[in-house]
Amino acid sequence: MRQNPSFAMTDAGELRRVIDENPWMTLVSATEQGLVASHYAVLLDEDRDDLTVVGHVGKPDDAIHGLGEQELLVIVQGPHGYISPGWYGDGPNVPTWNFVSVHLSGVPEVLTAEENLRVLERLVARFESGLPQPRLMWQPPNDEEYVRRLERGTVGFRLTPTKVVAKRKLSQNKPDEVVDTIIAELESGAGPYVDPRLPAEMRRAHDALRAARSAARGAAS
């Protein structure tokens, strides 16, 4: 992902928030057979306060990726959407795509069976928790034999990234009034491009920009 300093995300707290809110991720490896991509749910490591993530792959994806032996790229895709040039005003403009994305790279550690079980348990609990009647991993009719057989069909991993590239391209290069118009269009309830998550990210980014500008003016006065 090509980086632009105006769109770079560097705040660890914001990066953790984006990772936590967007757990469905893409795993990419460069192998002797070529590029390989898989898609799995991945979570922040609850025992760490950095950008370490944990997850699992189903066998034989571990062998296909060379898991634990070579670099793995984990792509976190946050809110994104089309931005019409008509929302910029009457002047000449081109359409674009606003998005939030985080790339985490490093050589992952392969987990033990017990560590992998804890990750699987966390994953199930995370996504079942929003249901009116959650069905957790160890809950009947699942029994221990079934759960451990499930674990043996997967390989867990922990990735502490050695490289992080994060980008938040949310019209930061546009005037405030244009940004407000784009947010209003995305929140309008009309048209095919309505998405409440994207304008929420835009509002968050621009509130931070406006606060920084205000602080800079205050320091200069």
| Dist CA 181 CA 41 (whole Å) | 34
**Mind listing the domains of the chain with CATH numbers?**
5-173 (2.30.110.10)
Q: What is the dihedral of CA 63, 66, 69, 75, to 10 degrees?
A: -130
pLDDT band at 193 (very low <50, low <70, confident <90, very high): confident
- pLDDT of 221: 67
Q: Which of 16, 14, 38, 19 is nearest to 28 (CA)?
A: 38
Section 181-205 average pLDDT: 88
pLDDT tens per residue across span 1-30: 888 888 999 999 999 999 999 999 999 999
| Dist CA 147 CA 1 (whole Å) | 38
Q: Give the CA distances from residue 39 to residues 26, 54, 57, 70, 109, in Å, rounded to whole numbers and listed in that order.
A: 5, 14, 9, 18, 18
Section 50-65 average pLDDT: 97
Cβ contacts of 198 within 8 Å, gap of 6 or more: 79, 80, 81, 98, 186
Cβ contacts of 18 within 8 Å, gap of 6 or more: 9, 76, 78, 100, 102, 166
pLDDT band at 132 (very low <50, low <70, confident <90, very high): very high
pLDDT tens per residue across span 81-128: 999 999 988 888 899 999 999 999 999 999 999 999 999 999 999 999
pLDDT tens per residue across span 133-189: 999 999 999 999 999 999 999 999 999 999 999 999 999 989 999 999 999 999 987
